[in-house]
Amino acid sequence: MSTDDTTAGHLQELRRGTVVLACLIRLRTPDYGYALLESLNGLGITVDANTLYPLLRRLEKQGLLTSEWNTDEARPRKFYRTSDAGERLAGALTTDWHLIDAALTRLTTGDER
């Protein structure tokens, strides 16, 4: 990346909220931390493990995700799933995302109204 620290910092801020939204949408099918990390990064939503794991825990605490330990394999894994409250939040965030996108588009094209 050729971007300097300032740009990197602003990009990180811009993306912070979108990671939450991406998690909520992606975890409609239950999955565990590392698989989620891989699939988000594969989709181009870059997120760091040190950001994602604490985020998952926070969302669970807020009741937006539910979790369940899967002990079928040798390594027990915590599977997260979007709760009903998480589903509602995802809806609200998506709506807002589109509003912002539309507003920015109007700003860019100069059609302010």
The residue ranges that bind other proteins (CB under 8 A) are: 32-34, 38, 49-50, 53-54, 57, 69, 75-78
CB-nearer residue toward other proteins: 23 or 90: 23
Strands 65-70 and 31-32: unpaired
CB-nearer residue toward other proteins: 17 or 76: 76
Radius of gyration for the alpha carbons in the chain, expressed in angstroms and rounded = 16
Strand order in the sheet with 31-32: 31-32, 77-82, 65-70
Min CB(95)–other proteins separation in Å: 30
CB-nearer residue toward other proteins: 22 or 32: 32
Min CB(97)–other proteins separation in Å: 27
Min CB(75)–other proteins separation in Å: 5
CB-nearer residue toward other proteins: 14 or 69: 69
Min CB(17)–other proteins separation in Å: 19
